[in-house]
Copies of this chain bind each other. A is one copy, B any other.
Amino acid sequence: MIQKIGIIGGTGMMGRMFQSAWEAQGKEVRVTGSKDLDKEKALVMESELVILSVPIDKTAEVVRRISPWLTSGHLLSDFTSVKSPVVPVMAKTEAQVIACHPMFGQVQSLKGHNVILMPLDGGGKFLHQYKRLYEDLGLKVTVLADWTKHDESMSVIQGLMHFIHIVFSRTLAKRQVDLETVLQICSPVYQANFAFACRILMRDPHLYTRILMDNPQNLSVLSDFLAEAQGHLKLIDKGDEKTFENHFLETREFLGDLGEVFSAQSDYLVEKLKEYPPAPEK
């Protein structure tokens, strides 16, 4: 089993989170930050697994720097949200590569969150071991054989959703909406929506900007969203109830069985939100 882990960029939020979680399990974890470039060689030489936890636009540079010390006995991985600028660069090293995307940022507990692993050439002897590293922390691991599918999915997961929340909040700001009144009288669904927008807007602007700019699939997804928005706004403007309702029903058909399944999940969220803030534990 993997015992020695090195995290480059490990002094950031994600790196620290995993460092303490793995150390609690008896692993040897080394980390370096952007001021410890002189310690990177030792980190690579002394680790079986090297993880890059650096901004997307810095990853290629780091790979080039550590490349001379990477051998076929190393597992090389990363935490970046977009894979197409990163995986081909990692693939050029001697190391076995398994790209990784933890589907969460700062969280109260790792347990139950999603992690995606994307092995190159099947991940070799490391895939099973690397999967276990995350499973032992209580994470749910999905292995995606084709990493290009990752960026495609992420363009609708992160790209579209972040974009919507950022533009939604910006629209409230532009109109100088009276937030106090709105939040006093709104429905739980709106309240949750606002909470998720705040979750994004209170975090690292650079991270969200890069996620939107670095995934080449985003432009096409966002353009589609914009075209649909324009089309639907026109229908509202013309009062074309019939076409609007037809689109609505077509979309419902596309959702299929998932529509009911996730609608039930929204009932659960609405009830849980009414219990917020939770009663203090006794």
Q: How many copies does the complex hold?
A: 2
Q: Which 6 A-B pairs have the closest CB atoms?
A: A173-B254, A199-B266, A198-B262, A112-B274, A195-B266, A205-B248
If the complex has contacts A164-B168, A184-B142, are A252 and B174 also in contact, measured as CB distance less than 8 A? no
Distance, CA A113 to CA B179, complexed state (A)? 19
A58 interfacial contact with B, CB 8 Å: no
Give the size of the chain A interface in residues (CB under 8 angstroms).
111
Q: Could you say which of B111, B195, B252 contacts A265, with CB atoms under 8 Å apart?
A: B195
A89 interfacial contact with B, CB 8 Å: no
A2 interfacial contact with B, CB 8 Å: no
Q: Could you say which of B183, B189, B209, B223 contacts A199, with CB atoms under 8 Å apart?
A: B189
Q: Is the CB of B265 within 8 A of A170?
A: no
If the complex has contacts A184-B142, A202-B263, A249-B205, are A111 and B179 also in contact, measured as CB distance less than 8 A? no
22 CB contacts below 8 A, A to B, read A103-B187, A107-B267, A157-B186, A160-B171, A163-B229, A163-B233, A171-B224, A171-B225, A171-B228, A174-B224, A175-B224, A179-B258, A192-B266, A193-B193, A198-B266, A206-B245, A209-B245, A212-B244, A219-B236, A219-B237, A265-B273, A268-B272
Q: Which residues of B contact A182 (CB under 8 A)?
A: 153, 156-157
Q: Which residues of B contact A107 (CB under 8 A)?
A: 267, 270
Q: Which B residue's beta carbon lies closest to that of A187? A: B103
Other than the given A198-B263, A222-B229, 6 more pairs (CB < 8 A) read: A114-B187, A161-B193, A164-B168, A170-B232, A189-B199, A199-B266
Q: Is the CB of B185 within 8 A of A114?
A: yes
Q: Is the CB of A226 within 8 A of B226?
A: yes
Q: Tell me the A residues contacting B by CB distance below 8 Å.
A: 103-104, 107-109, 111-114, 116, 142, 144, 149-150, 153, 156-158, 160-161, 163-164, 166-179, 181-199, 201-202, 205-206, 208-210, 212-213, 218-219, 221-226, 228-230, 232-233, 236-237, 239, 241, 244-245, 247-252, 254-256, 258-263, 265-274, 276-278
